Chains A and B, each alone.
Chain A
Amino acid sequence: MAKLSMKKISMKYEKKLILEDLDLEIKHGELLVLLGESGCGKTTLLKIVAGIIQPEQGTIYVNDTEISNLSPQVRQIGYVPQAQVLFPHMKVKQNITFGLEARKLTKETIEEKINWIADLVEISDLLDRYPRELSGGQKQRVALARAMAIEPHLLLLDEPLSSIDATGREALALTIRRIQKETSTTTLYVTHNGDEARLISDRVAVIYDGKIQQVGKVLDVEQHPKNYLIAKILGSPNIWPILYTKKKEKTKLFTSICDIPLQGEISSKITGVKIPPSIISISKDRIEDPNLVVLKCYVKTVIEKSENEYRLILDLKDNPSEYIKVDCSRSEYEKNLNENNEINIYFSPLEVILL
């Protein structure tokens, strides 16, 4: 078990700062998902931790030992790059023993460890195959086994699900989670996909502009994102940036789908709004209530979440390039849809979450 701390990490690439005074801490045995859009420096950070790239400045500690100046050989950090990169000329078994052999262990110990890790990762039947004979998911398991075999202080995973087909993703994610828990390995998991964070993370750290912008449990971050961009990176539904704010008698927020009047003054800067699908109601009749925001829509798609729960995806009548998601029951939907496929939606601006 180990704790990882990074302090004031900065990194330039072709004169552009990609990481700037970045701080991050991962607790003992924790799986932290580092979430950010492509090109934001996630992979660079991972490589810096692994010791493959030297940062311009900053220090890294494992527990309280500084590792910034250690070479990758010494750090004992399991690194699984995005494309897995198994050694193509070695069988699966040799791939796994590669790291063990560097440690001068006895043959028996190596054999024991292979059996242990192969069982854990469920690849015992693949040991005699060459990488080219494996599927994407199997390759990822082998890469994971190879990294875990050296019993690393820390496991680094770079978008481990990106090259896996949709059907295998969840299963592999859960395998990773199980192994990580069973071995209590402190893990840094990099992805651009908010769903993966929801699926397996202990905590999530959102990165952009070279810095960690918000860290916390996924639910907390999802419910209280610090700003519009964080909500967007998490992939929250129904969020819009604020185009401009008008302050006359009442403050009004303008977005690309509607104007939202606010009660009272706002103290901090608002970057966006989130209209949770659950606060929106539907009606086939005209709604005339000045306290509600009302929008005319067309039904674009209906997703059946369960037998009685529907999620509607609606096009806005006034602005067909925008769409909005609404949750409702089946009976409500059937009752309120008119013959032209039109539907009215409304919500109270008081329930809108300001970002």
Chain B
Amino acid sequence: MFSTTLKKRAKADSILNKSIIILVILAFGSFLILFFYAPLSKIFQFAFSDGNQFTFSFIIETITDPLNISFLLFTFAQALLSMLICLILGIPAGYFFAKYDFRGKKLLLSLMTIPFVLPAIVVLLGFIVTYGESGWVNSIWTGLTGIDSPIIEIFGTFEGILIAHVFYNLSVIIRMSIPAWKSVDTEQINVAKSLGASNWLILRKIIFPQIVNYLVSAALLVFVYTFNSFAIVLYLGEIKFQTLEVRIYKLMKASLDFNGGATLALIQLILNTAIIILYLFFESRTRQMAEGKESIFKSEKISLSKKNWKKNINISFFILFILALMIFTFSPIVAIVLESFQPYADGISPFWGYQQLFSNEYMPLLGNSPLRLLLNTLLFASLTTILTLILSVLLVFVLRNRYQSLKKYKISFSENFVSYIIILPMATSSITLAIGMFLLFNNSIIYLEFVWVFIVLTHVLISIPFASRSILSAYNRIDIEMLNVASTLGASRFRIFAKIELPYIYRGIIVGGIFAFAISLGEFAATNFLVRGEYGTLSIGISKLIKTQTLQLPATMASILVIITIICFLVIQKFGDIELKV
């Protein structure tokens, strides 16, 4: 009485499903083992062995070294302060974007997020052009007041690093606090008011408990990013200020102290893992709170009222505040583009930088022509995107394998296994990834001849958490019951994927892919550590020119990166939302 075709197909399905899981575990597992866990174990080896035997001496040396301690304290202090400033500025801005609706809001939000995915080296250049000694702000200051000493100093100062970090991460808080504010139903506030509660009581008892998890997880994310900051501190911090990331890099590259570098990398990894676990905890609490909540929040139009002058002042203040943030966000980006047309000397064409792209004049310094650097950049980014997407889609398939997890209502072993083995790569800094690769493979032929393979693999490791996050969040919107119904209707595994799952996740795949592309496009720390010979990227090229007197050429190269990043963002905006979370 049961169709044999259906029976046969069900059997094939079950085999297909099992093979996918085995394939993922094999592909993903071996990828991680080969390019993450094995390199990591190499770091362990350097931290705990003097070449012959096991020793704690490197660990003890590292943690008692006063220089290391002071850099560790600095790393914490700057991350904490950057985080606090981002919170102070970002939470009200998030409130504004949650509460008010206006034309171009989505575009504005997307544009304000650009700094976050802008290559670090581009941000740095933007800062130098805008706030540097002979930058725009200081020139205007001198022009207006006649005072020669600059108003802002970014090199070798604590505030320079803070401003850059706030610029970089502010959008994380803004974007993540919007859903926080939106999760508070306005009716609750109305009810509380009708019960006679004061604004302060409402904030404390009604609003705060509902938004605190969102804000803590956003804050932890900013903390992680700034804790692992590299390019900005490497250049702005000069010798005075170093994050652990910079310190490790200098130990490895400048002092060739591999044992010291590996030990410090290990300590950094432990700290990072602790923060990431804390973050995942708050993130899952946020998700639990959001579950089952219907979005009833309604934004209102910005309008001035004739009677309520208090409200008018409020709104005007908010608009001014947002305008100030916009100027802060966009000026370094605009400055770069303008600088690329600013002749570095008399008689030079405004298009000199763009003409230089096709010349070999700077080849001795850059290792390759600017055009080849651009091509390298695009090629690495494309390869990274393809590899990241393949691995991420497979990963999501195991993490959300209905066939495995729904049976008996238990989380399957494969799902558990996979979700644990990816925590560590998430917590590993770019420099650590690069060091691991370097220590394990630096004598291999592939490393010596085709270092780009390792550059791409590192970019893939950095991108996977972001990409799989985008795909997962799209996948989570699928109602499992829908897939259940589809299978009771006789649809095969493949058909369910093609007809139901794919239409839901393809936007997530596109967004994740672009994210991977953008990350690879501007990745600096790991690339800079690994790069050899002609395999440089635009970011590396810019970093080599950043301390020269002619900012026109690096600004040109940075402008190209800015334009590609903006295009990526416009595409993302068309296809879905940006996931800043890891």
Contacts and interface: CB of A to CB of B under 8 A. Distances in A.
Given A53-B408, A83-B481, A85-B485, A104 B491 contact: no
Contacts of A98: 486, 489, 491, 499
Given A71-B487, A102-B495, A76 B481 contact: no
A242 to B, nearest CB: 37
A338 interface: no
Contacts of A135: none
Interface string A51-68: 111101000001101010
A207 interface: no
Nearest to A152: B488
Interface string B2-31: 110111011001100000000000000000
B1 A52 contact: no
Interface in A72-119: 72-81, 83, 85, 87, 89-90, 98-99, 102-104
The binding surface of chain A is classed by DSSP as loop
A71 B408 contact: no
Nearest to B484: A52
Contact of B6 (A14, A74, A83, A90): A74
A73 B491 contact: yes
A303 interface: no
Contacts of A80: 485
Interface in B451-500: 479, 481-482, 484-492, 495, 499-500
Contact of B488 (A14, A79, A83): A79
B488 A78 contact: yes
Contacts, number: 103
Interface in A145-199: 146-147, 150, 153
A219 to B, nearest CB: 33
Contacts of B10: 70-71, 73-74
Scoring B7, B406, B499, B504 by chain A CB atoms within 10 A of each residue's CB, the highest score goes to B499
B484 A71 contact: no
A10 to B, nearest CB: 12
B9 A73 contact: yes
A26 interface: no
A67 B3 CA distance: 13
Interface residues of A, number: 40
B487 A73 contact: yes
Interface residues of B, number: 31
The binding surface of chain B is classed by DSSP as helix
Scoring B10, B13, B407, B485 by chain A CB atoms within 10 A of each residue's CB, the highest score goes to B485
B484 A65 contact: no
Contacts of B495: 102
A53 B6 CA distance: 19
Interface in A297-355: none
Given A73-B10, A85-B481, A103 B490 contact: yes
A155 to B, nearest CB: 11
Scoring B6, B484, B489, B490 by chain A CB atoms within 10 A of each residue's CB, the highest score goes to B489
Contact of A99 (B13, B409, B481, B489): B489
A103 B3 contact: yes
Given A50-B484, A85-B485, 6 more contacts: A54-B408, A74-B3, A76-B490, A81-B485, A104-B5, A147-B488
- Lowest 10 A-B CB distances belong to which pairs? A99-B489, A102-B490, A71-B10, A79-B488, A72-B487, A85-B482, A85-B481, A81-B481, A52-B484, A54-B407
